[in-house]
Amino acid sequence: MKIYVTGLGLISAAGENEKETLTSFESGKRRAGPVSLFSTQIQSPAYEAKGFSRHYFPEQLRTLNLCLAATEDALDDASLKEEIRGKRIGVAMGTTVGSVLNDINFNMEFRDKGSAPMDSVNLYLEGNLSSGIHSFLQTEGPSITVVNACVSGANAIGVAMSWLRSGLCDIAIAGGADELNKVPFCGFGALGILSDSLCSPFDLNRKGLNLGEGAGVLLLESEQSMERRKKKPRAIMRGYDFSNDAHHLTSPDPSGAGIERAITGALIDARLEPDAISFINAHGTATIDNDLVEARVLHNLFGSTIAFLSTKGYIGHTLGAAGALEAGFCILALEQGWIPGCAGFKKLDLNIPIAPVTQKTQIEGHFALSTSMGFGGCDAALVIEFPE
Amino acid sequence: MKPVFIEGIGIIFTRGRGLNKFEQALKDGWDEPTVSADGRKAYRVPKDALIDYNILKKVRRSDRFSRLAVFAACDAIHDSDLDIADLDQSSIGIIIATAFGPHATIFKVLDDIIDYGEKKVSPTTFANSIHNAAASYVASALGCTGPVMTTTQFYFSFQQALLLASSWLNEGRLKKVLVGIVDECSPAMEYICEEKLSVAHNGKMSPLSCLKRPKFVPGEGSAFFLVSQDSRKKKYGAFTEIDITGNSHGWTDVDLSIIGTNAMGGSEEVYKDILNKGIPVAAYSSIYGGFMTGNAFECAAAALMLKNQTQYASPNVDRTELWNVADKSKERELNQIQCISHNNTQKLVFIKMTK
């Protein structure tokens, strides 16, 4: 069963809409800088969605606001905004920060005094992404928030594909969102994988990742729904699979078996051979381990001439939003016929057998692959088709 | 929906670990909750239930939250007599639903930030504080390399996870799915419950009371179901319908309705209009405590009753005049049971289980 993308909403440091994003990609501009959203002693550039100011919920629910803004953009794009109430529309959203009760002031007050105001708890209970969007839009259909670390966004799209294939809904709003937040910022620092300079995916001198924030939302539809609405698709979600390393909580399996299984499974799901893939939007966090494992697997499966890049150099690592934003970027690239250079990459690591594209590169063909890897040993792959 | 057959169940709760203990608890009925150092009552999992060195050696750095999940998940596999080594390890999927995630560990990360500064957070604690850490430990302990997912949806976390498991099986993506819940009751959670809910200071929850703020005792635990679409492997009946539309009045062809009276969704008044008086009603949350994902425990109770063809008495019901309460444990023919939960907007979600 074919699943169509009829709407897209993308918000990240690269831009608050598709046009701004493409401008950033084309110019190679990297909008990272010191953290401004909270005070911190950790020196690592961050990719903030600087101009973002759309508030549907209290300002503190930044992740939910980012998510709903991207959802509204996707609904607008799909010409669906006015006609969704009561429809069989599923909502699948991925996040990390949006699922966590991590208010430092609440914790400090509770442990010091044995009591604390409930304000942050109340906000947290309001902040579940898919519940929030489901209630706001008054849709009827399945609703789930995926909290699978950095793979959450890709997984949420996969969940929506499963629902549509199972007939649980006719349309699905799927994606991911995460705000830049102090607690994971400290946590990634503790793991020693934050770079103190701009990240350089797949580069010999890569030192780690930069965190970012944003939201990516895709409007997915069954063929019947799309035809009923006389809507043309922007893309087809052709294949999806995911797997687990069963290896380590925070490090990828050095053999790459997990991500290889996910990619192979997605290609089988898409009924495609590897040589059908025009380009790959790799996970490419710029950590030593991720990039080494991922690039070796890409080389094994696709050979040394495959065009690939990581877009983390433009948006940072947006955690639960990453897989969805990057699926969206694949759609833009298929439509435009080019992919941007892999920002931050300068010098080939001899341990990595292939190099990403370094400048704006024309692409031919109709199929893109987007990969995601995350803590917990999670791996996911999406195959996206540009319709004829 | 195609039937989703239950091949095995694993459970850990306030009275210990194992389905036998859960079955005994259903027979015994209500018991006093545990009392924490600061005097708060809760149905906490005892420390000795989390000691099993054969399992712990596989998940040495895990926190308590993850261990709850690992123990219940391993027990579900054990209960099914499945030898994972005989299978393609990527053919089993895992879905863990949680309402609040490993919040006690998250608070430890916050403690590190407060006490030692931003740069001195323990990497192990941070890694364990991520929502999908428990699922990762389960996958490692079992050697499962198939899809592993953690989801959260507060009130309906389990129902949505079960629906997803059903979708995966329908698609043919997987042969079996281990689907379950885990939630933990930390001192902070006890405090939050005390602030936001009406705590039962005598330790007795008041299921089916229809009070505006039902009396509540927080609980915790983990329950897992190994499910497939292979009827030959059925051990406890099947999940046959899941209705998440919020428009439904449930089914009238069931022999028992089990209500998820966890008190977090407020009054059970909403059930009065929809429950057929002819169908007995039960609520068991006063055995294991109230928590948003506790409806997996209700499904475990239903599965046991369908298997044993025995109805267990619904404990602690005062207002028997409002309902046709299943107030006695007895052998009876049970073909179908529905498990119903509600949220804070009084939306109802239904799961039907069949013998």
> What residues does each domain of chain A span?
3-385
Shortest Cα distance, chain A CAs vs residue B310, angstroms: 33
Distance (Å, rounded) from C-alpha B321 to C-alpha A328?
57
- State the average pLDDT over residues B125-137: 97
B170 touches chain A (CB under 8 A): yes
> What's chain B look like in SS3?
CCCEEEEEEEEEECCEECHHHHHHHHHHCCCCCEECCCCCEEECCCHHHHCCHHHHCCCCCCCHHHHHHHHHHHHHHHHHCCCHHHCCHHHEEEEEECCCCCHHHHHHHHHHHHHHCHHHCCHHHHHHHCCCHHHHHHHHHHCCCCCEEEEECHHHHHHHHHHHHHHHHHHCCCCEEEEEEEECCCHHHHHHHHHHCEECCCCCCCCCCCCCCCEECEECEEEEEEEECCHHHCCCCEEEEEECCCCCCCCCCCCEEEECCCCCCCCCHHHHCCCCCCCCEECCHHHHCECCCCHHHHHHHHHHHHHHCEECCCCCCCCHHHCCECCCCEECCCCEEEEEEECCCCCEEEEEEEC
Q: What is the mean pLDDT of chain B?
A: 93
B143 touches chain A (CB under 8 A): yes
- State the average pLDDT over residues B177-202: 93
Distance (Å, rounded) from C-alpha B341 to C-alpha A48?
40
Contacts of A155 in chain B (CB under 8 A): 149
- State the average pLDDT over residues B190-207: 90
B145 touches chain A (CB under 8 A): yes
Backbone angles phi, psi at B258, to 5 degrees: -110, 125
3 state SS of A369: strand
| Chain segment A94-109, per-residue pLDDT in tens | 999 999 999 999 999 9
pLDDT at A370: 98
Q: Which of B98, B126, B143 sits opposite A191 (nearest CB)?
A: B126
pLDDT at A364: 94
| Chain segment A312-340, per-residue pLDDT in tens | 999 999 999 999 999 999 999 999 999 99
A128 pLDDT more than 90: yes
Q: Of B295, B286, B306, B285, which is closest to residue B348 (Cα–Cα)?
A: B295
Q: Which of A183, A191, A244 sits opposite B146 (nearest CB)?
A: A244
B126–A190 CB contact, under 8 Å: yes
- State the average pLDDT over residues B209-219: 86
3 state SS of A339: strand
Instruction: Report the alpha-carbon angle B64-B153-B169, nearest 5.
Output: 90
Shortest Cα distance, chain B CAs vs residue A42, angstroms: 7
Q: Which of A166, A185, A246 sits opposite B139 (nearest CB)?
A: A246
Q: Of B85, B95, B182, B76, which is closest to residue B147 (Cα–Cα)?
A: B95
Question: Percentage of chain B with pLDDT > 90?
Answer: 81
Contacts of A143 in chain B (CB under 8 A): 153, 156, 160, 244
Distance (Å, rounded) from C-alpha B211 to C-alpha B221?
26
Contacts of B117 in chain A (CB under 8 A): 41
Distance (Å, rounded) from C-alpha B20 to C-alpha A89?
41
- State the average pLDDT over residues B31-39: 89
Contacts of A163 in chain B (CB under 8 A): 164, 167
Shortest Cα distance, chain B CAs vs residue A24, angstroms: 32
Q: How confident is the model at residue A247 (pLDDT cuts 50, 70, 90)?
A: confident
Which residues lie closer than 8 Å to B53 by C-beta, 6 or more apart?
none
Which residues lie closer than 8 Å to A78 by C-beta, 6 or more apart?
A6, A7, A219, A221, A231
pLDDT at B323: 87
B116 touches chain A (CB under 8 A): no
pLDDT at A187: 97
A82 pLDDT more than 80: no
pLDDT at A268: 97
Top residue of B40, B59, B131 to mutate, by most chain A CBs within 10 Å, is B131
Please state, in angstroms and as integers, the Cα–Cα distance from residue B193 to each residue in A187, B198, B351, following that order.
28, 8, 26
Q: Of A242, A333, A234, A318, which is closest to residue A279 (Cα–Cα)?
A: A333
Q: How confident is the model at residue B185 (pLDDT cuts 50, 70, 90)?
A: very high
Asked if A146 and B151 count as a contact pair (C-beta separation under 8 A), the reply is yes
Distance (Å, rounded) from C-alpha B200 to C-alpha B222?
23
Backbone angles phi, psi at A5, to 5 degrees: -100, 120
Q: How confident is the model at residue B277 (pLDDT cuts 50, 70, 90)?
A: confident
pLDDT at B267: 83
Backbone angles phi, psi at B136, to 5 degrees: -65, -45
Q: Which of A42, A165, A246 sits opposite B119 (nearest CB)?
A: A42
A257–B120 CB contact, under 8 Å: no
A295 pLDDT more than 90: yes
B263 pLDDT more than 80: no
The residue count of chain A comes to 388
- B103 sits in the region (left: phi over 0; alpha: psi -120 to 50; else beta) called alpha
CB pairs under 8 A between A and B: 204
Tell me, rounded to whole angstroms, the distance of Cα A93 from its chain centroid: 10
pLDDT at B321: 80
Q: Which token pair is B112?
A: 């590190």
Top residue of B2, B110, B137 to mutate, by most chain A CBs within 10 Å, is B110
Q: How confident is the model at residue A175 (pLDDT cuts 50, 70, 90)?
A: very high
Asked if A219 and A325 count as a contact pair (C-beta separation under 8 A), the reply is no
A128–B152 CB contact, under 8 Å: yes
| Chain segment B84-101, per-residue pLDDT in tens | 888 888 899 999 999 999
Q: Which of B106, B127, B154 sits opposite A375 (nearest CB)?
A: B127
pLDDT at B44: 96
Contacts of B150 in chain A (CB under 8 A): 146-148, 376
pLDDT at B77: 97
Distance (Å, rounded) from C-alpha A90 to C-alpha A3?
14
B197 touches chain A (CB under 8 A): no
Shortest Cα distance, chain B CAs vs residue A265, angstroms: 10
Residue at token pair 């989801």: B151
CATH code assigned to A3-385 = 3.40.47.10
B195 touches chain A (CB under 8 A): yes
Q: Which token pair is A24?
A: 């950033």
pLDDT at A81: 79
pLDDT at B261: 75
B269 pLDDT more than 90: no
Q: What is the mean pLDDT of chain A?
A: 96
In chain B, where the domains are located: 4-354
Asked if B93 and B146 count as a contact pair (C-beta separation under 8 A), the reply is yes
Which residues lie closer than 8 Å to B150 by C-beta, 6 or more apart?
A146, A147, A148, A376, B95, B96, B97, B98, B131, B132, B134, B135
B319 pLDDT more than 80: no
Q: How confident is the model at residue B208 (pLDDT cuts 50, 70, 90)?
A: confident
Closest residue on chain A to B132 (Cα): A148
A165–B168 CB contact, under 8 Å: no
Shortest Cα distance, chain B CAs vs residue A113, angstroms: 12
Q: Is the dihedral of CA A308, A314, A315, A317 positive or negative?
A: positive
Asked if B174 and B91 count as a contact pair (C-beta separation under 8 A), the reply is yes
Top residue of B150, B168, B196 to mutate, by most chain A CBs within 10 Å, is B150
B131–A99 CB contact, under 8 Å: yes
The reply to whether ipTM tops 0.85 is yes
pLDDT at A142: 95
Q: Which of B111, B154, B195 sits opposite A107 (nearest CB)?
A: B111
Shortest Cα distance, chain B CAs vs residue A28, angstroms: 32
Tell me, rounded to whole angstroms, the distance of Cα A37 from its chain centroid: 21
Q: Which token pair is A215?
A: 């939201």
B32 touches chain A (CB under 8 A): no
Q: Which CATH architecture has domain B4-354?
A: 3-Layer(aba) Sandwich (3.40)
| Chain segment A193-246, per-residue pLDDT in tens | 999 999 999 999 999 999 999 999 999 999 999 999 999 999 999 999 999 998
Instruction: Please report the beta strands in chain A, taking only residues with DSSP state E, as ranges in sequence order.
Output: 3-12, 89-94, 143-146, 171-178, 214-222, 235-244, 277-282, 307-310, 338-339, 361-362, 367-374, 378-385
B89 touches chain A (CB under 8 A): yes
Question: Percentage of chain A with pLDDT > 90?
Answer: 95
Top residue of A44, A99, A169 to mutate, by most chain B CBs within 10 Å, is A99
Selected residue with higher pLDDT from B320 and A74:
A74
- State the average pLDDT over residues A294-306: 97
Closest residue on chain B to A149 (Cα): B132
Closest residue on chain B to A241 (Cα): B147
Top residue of A144, A151, A170, A185 to mutate, by most chain B CBs within 10 Å, is A144
Q: Which of A251-255, A271-275, B176-180 has the lowest mean pLDDT?
A: A251-255
Distance (Å, rounded) from C-alpha A245 to C-alpha B84?
16
Asked if A100 and A154 count as a contact pair (C-beta separation under 8 A), the reply is no
